[in-house]
Amino acid sequence: MGYQNLVFPKDSLFLVTGGAGFIGSNLCEAITDMGYQVRCLDNLSTGKIENVNRLKDRENYTFIEGDIRDLDTCMKACEGVDFVLNQAAWGSVPRSIEMPLFYEEVNIRGTLNMMEAARQQGVKKFVYASSSSVYGDHPVLPKVEGQEGNLLSPYALTKRVDEEYGKLYTKLYGLDTYGMRYFNVFGRHQDPDGVYAAVIPKFIKMLINDEVPTINGDGKQSRDFTYIDNVIEANLKACLAPSEAAGQAFNIAYGGREYLIDIYYTLCEALGKKIEPNFGPDRKGDIKHSNADISKARNLLGYDPDYDFAKGIALAIDWYKEDLSKK
């Protein structure tokens, strides 16, 4: 239950790549709150300098502006590090369809550079971001590790390749790697702006501003929306997991199933708005339904998420109301 009471050796040093992004900055904040040292690596291509600035005065936080596509940068960043939480990547299925070569470079070569640097620098645990998109068109619900279908986007392919490298680095080199198959993570500090913004913060911001959101498709697609604190718990518990669990990937979700149209009306009700949405075409590369079986992560990592969708969305709405009122 939760992560605040997890204990690491007191001089532990964590490297969070992509630490200026949504998930990465939340990890940096949580780990520094727990009293451990954090080194954040980010090239600020999609990460936000504001996420660095809010932590930079903490004595146990340091920031390196650098790119995981450069092996020397990765080697320097991994010096003296105990645990790597590799979140650096470019997200978004539709954007990857537009930019497949770039996704290959960042998400595959960048992650491989980080694994190689971690191996050479003697890192204890290498935890990396994967994605539920690796399930592709496999129709069975809930999604279970080992039952994957045909991939539907370059983004999904990059994450599948990362998992294969993770498996090999454990098997060939003894680096303990753990893949986190995230399912639609949401929560504080998630960017509501831009063409590729995630749906929950985007809807919240538009509704607060009395704008009309557009839902892709009919709104009847379902997702296992996962609150950020569950993801922090999973990453930190993977750092404490036995080597027997290494070289594998794990579903990281709550295990629920929410329909997009229901979420939209939940947000309308919570924000006191009566705005009917527009409906647009389905997004290329998207899957219709996705929810997770999390029993593997429960059994092997001790993952036991505290936040269901209702609890998480209430916290997220409160955070966005406060954050947007400052702007």
CA dist 77 → 45, 48, 63, 64, 165 (Å)? 18, 19, 10, 8, 20
Residue reference for tokens 């036991």: 304
What pLDDT, in 10s, does the model give residues 207-223?
999 999 999 889 999 99
321 assigned to some structural domain:
no
303 assigned to some structural domain:
yes
251 assigned to some structural domain:
yes
Q: What is the DSSP letter of 107?
A: I
- Closest C-alpha among 99, 72, 79, 98 to residue 39: 79
SS3 for 324?
A: helix
264 has catalytic annotation: no
Selected catalytic residue, list 36, 103, 135, 155 = 155
Q: In this predicted structure, what is the pLDDT of residue 298?
A: 98
Mean pLDDT by 10 residues, the chain (327 residues): 91 98 98 98 96 98 98 98 98 93 98 98 98 94 97 97 98 98 95 81 93 92 95 98 98 95 94 94 81 98 96 94 82
241 assigned to some structural domain:
yes
**C-alpha triplet 97, 98, 100: angle, nearest 5°:** 65
Q: Is 262 in contact with 215 (CB distance < 8 Å)?
A: no
What pLDDT, in 10s, does the model give residues 106-119?
999 999 999 999 99
CA atoms within 13 A on the CB side of 156: 21
Q: What separation, in Å, do the N-terminal and C-terminal C-alpha atoms of the chain show?
A: 35
Provide the residue range defining the domain that includes 128: 13-188+228-256+291-307
Q: In this predicted structure, what is the pLDDT of residue 196?
A: 64
214 assigned to some structural domain:
no
Q: In this predicted structure, what is the pLDDT of residue 197?
A: 72
323 assigned to some structural domain:
no
**Number of domains making up the chain:** 1
Please tell me the distance from the alpha carbon of residue 99 to that of residue 102, in angstroms, as a whole number: 6
Residue reference for tokens 């999904």: 156
Please tell me the distance from the alpha carbon of residue 74 to that of residue 309, in angstroms, as a whole number: 36
68 assigned to some structural domain:
yes
Q: What is the CATH number of the domain that holds 52?
A: 3.40.50.720
Q: Is 2 in contact with 306 (CB distance < 8 Å)?
A: yes
Q: In this predicted structure, what is the pLDDT of residue 29?
A: 98
Residue reference for tokens 């080194």: 39
219 assigned to some structural domain:
no
